[in-house]
Amino acid sequence: MVQAIKLSELTNRKRANEEGDVEDDSEIDISSTDSENEEAEGNEEEIVNIDFDFYNGNSEVDFHALKNLSRQLFGPQESNRIQLSALADLMLASPMTTIKTDGTESDPYCFLSLINYNENRDSDYAKYLKKVDPKLMTFLQTVDGNVNKKCALVLSERLINMPAEVVPPLYKITLEDASNVLDNNHYDFYVIVSRKYEVNFDMDEDEERRSKKRVKNDEIDYFHEEDRFFERNAKLHFQSPAKKGIISTYTVMDHDGLLKSLTELEEEIAKW
C-alpha cells in the first residue's frame, strides 16, 4: 500500500543520471506498509524506501524488458499480431524515458516512448494500428494527407505496482526530449494504446455465455489511472470487446488535451 510519495524537479535528475552525476537523495520517496502482516502478526509498521531514477532508453539492456512490457500492454492475443522485436527497436530509436531502481544497466520497471508516426508510417506497428478500427485508420490517413501535422504513437507500460504518481514527470520529461528532436516544437496529436479490465471477470465462465453478458461501466476498471483523464479530453476514443477480461483502448488526443489531462491527474494525485 502506497502511503506517501514526494515529487520534485525530475528533469534535472534524469539529466544527472545520463551524465553519471546522481545524488544519493531519492526524488521520489515511496513508503509502503504491509498491512496484512501487521494485522496478522502484530508487527510494527514496516517502511520500504525505493529510489526511482529516470533514464533514457538503453539499447544494450532494455530490449527484452521492453518486449515483455509491450506484451503485457497489448495482452496475449493482440501482441501476437505485432512484431514486438521491431517495435522495441523502434521505441529505443525514439524519445524514451525509463524508470529504474538500480542504475542504467538494470531492467526498467516502467517506460514511455513517443514514436514519430510521420517518419514511421510504413512500420509494422503503424500498419497494425490502421487495421484495429476504421475510425483510427481514417484518422491516420488524415495525418498522412497533411504534411503540417505531426503525430506521435505513444507506448507506455509499467509493472502493476508502480504508482500513478510517476506518470506526470514521466510524460513531461519525454515530451521535452521530443520537443528537442522536433526543433523546439511539439506533436499535434498523440495516439495512445492502453487497456482496462473487467472487475468481476470469471475465468470459469464459458465463452458463449460471456459474449452474451453485457458488462456495465462500473464493472470495468483501469490499469492506468491516467487513462481516465485521457478519455475525458480525447478527440477520439474507442475500445475493443473484452477478451478474457481484458479490454484494449485507443485514444487520440491533441497537444493541449494531453497537457490538460496531465494537469488534472496531478490535481487528483494531490488529493490522495
Beta bridge partners of 29: 51
Give me the pLDDT at residue 173, please: 97
Global pTM reads: 0.81
The angle, 0 to 180 degrees and rounded to 10, between the axes of the packed helices 11-19 and 167-181 is 70
Give me the pLDDT at residue 62, please: 97
**What is the residue type of 249?**
T
219: left (phi over 0), alpha (psi -120 to 50) or beta: alpha
Class of residue 161 by CB neighbours under 10 A (exposed 0-12, middle 13-18, buried 19+): exposed
Rounded CA-CA distance 50/113 in Å is 23
CATH number of 53-270: 3.40.630.30
**What is the residue type of 169?**
P
Rounded CA-CA distance 119/202 in Å is 43
Give me the pLDDT at residue 219, please: 84
What is the mean pLDDT for each group of 10 consecutive residues in the chain (272 residues)? 38 57 44 44 63 92 97 92 97 97 93 98 97 96 95 96 94 97 95 92 53 60 96 96 90 98 98 94
In the chain, alpha helices (H): 11-19, 35-41, 63-79, 84-92, 124-132, 134-144, 167-181, 207-212, 226-232, 255-270
Rounded CA-CA distance 206/203 in Å is 8
Give me the pLDDT at residue 36, please: 45
Give me the pLDDT at residue 200, please: 75
Give me the pLDDT at residue 18, please: 61
Rounded CA-CA distance 62/113 in Å is 13
Rounded CA-CA distance 81/125 in Å is 9
Rounded CA-CA distance 73/216 in Å is 23
Contact 240, 247 (CB under 8 A): yes
